[in-house]
Structure 1
Amino acid sequence: MANHNELGKFGEQEAVAYLMSNDYEILNQNWTFDKAEIDIIARKGKVLAVVEVKTRSSLEFGLPQDFVKPKKIKLLMKAVNEYVTLYDLDLEIRFDIISVHIENGVTQIEHLEDAFYNFD
C-alpha cells in the first residue's frame, strides 16, 4: 500500500476515535454510492454527521480542509441523499470535515462542523 494510502487510513482511524470520544455513534465508514465515497457517517442525537477526513503530514501546500473541492462536495451531497433515502432517516444532516495533521510524531485533529453550510 502506498504511503499516502496508509496516511489516509491512519487519519480516518484517528477521526473515528475522536468522534467516538465525543459521543458520536459511527454508522458507516467508507460508504459508497455511484462515484462518491463518504469517509464517515456518524450520529449524535438527532444529527447525522457526514464527515470528510483529510490527513496531511505537512502543511506546506495548505490546510487539509482546503483540499475538499466543490466537485467532491456535490458528490457527498448526492451520496448522503441516497443514504438517507435508503435507511429512511429523519435526521438533521450536517457536513463536517475532520482535519488530521501529523508532524514530528504529533497528531493534531480539528473538527469543522457545518463545513459546507455556505456552499451553493
Structure 2
Amino acid sequence: MENKREKGFAGEEIAARFLRKNGYKILERNFATKSGEIDIIANKKRTIVFVEVKTRNTDNFGSPAEAVDSKKLTRLGTVANYYIQKKRLEKFPYRFEIVSITKQNNTYHCEIIPVD
C-alpha cells in the first residue's frame, strides 16, 4: 500500500510524462517556498503553466480536481508570483492547470483542467 508521499510522487511522475506527450516542456518540479509548493512548472507555446497534480485511486470522495480549494489556489498564486519575479518572467503569459489522475483497473487516466 502506498503512503501519501509515495502516491503523490508517483502521480507527479505520471503527470510529467503526460504533459510532455502533450507538448509541454517541464521547467521545474516541486518548486517550494515558505508560502507553499507548485508540483510542476512547465512551458507550452511560450506560456508558463503552473500545474497542481491530484491523484485518486477511487472517485468515492469526489474527483481529484475537487480537492483543489480556493485556499490552495491562493497559495499557488503566491508561489507563482514569486517564481515569475525570481526568474524575471513578467513579460510572459501564464496560466494555472490541474492534472487530475484517476486509477481504474490498474490504468491511470489523466485530464488537464484549466483553472480560471
TM category, shorter: over 0.9
Say if 2:97 is the partner of 1:111: no
TM-score by length of 1: 0.91
Measured after TM superposition, the shift of residue 103 of structure 1 is: 2.2
Measured after TM superposition, the shift of residue 87 of structure 1 is: 0.5
Measured after TM superposition, the shift of residue 22 of structure 1 is: 1.3
Structure 2: 5+ residue stretches without partners: none
Counterpart of 1:91 in structure 2 is: 92
Task: Give distance in 2, aligned partners of 1:62 and 1:2.
Answer: 20
Task: Give distance in 2, aligned partners of 1:70 and 1:48.
Answer: 21
Structure 1: 5+ residue stretches without partners: none
Identity of aligned pairs, percent? 36
Deviations 1:50-77 (A, max 9, x none): 0000000010010000000111111110
The alignment yields a C-alpha RMSD, in angstroms, of 1.3
Counterpart of 1:24 in structure 2 is: 24
Measured after TM superposition, the shift of residue 23 of structure 1 is: 1.4
Measured after TM superposition, the shift of residue 2 of structure 1 is: 5.3
| SS in structure 1 of the partner of residue 53 of structure 2 | strand
Task: Give distance in 2, aligned partners of 1:2 and 1:101.
Answer: 15
Q: Which residues in structure 2 correspond to 1:13-92 (within 5 Å)?
A: 13-89=13-89, 90-92=91-93
Task: Give distance in 1, aligned partners of 2:40 and 2:67.
Answer: 17
> Aligned pair count?
115
TM-score by length of 2: 0.94
Q: Is the 8 A contact 2:35 2:78 kept in 1?
A: no
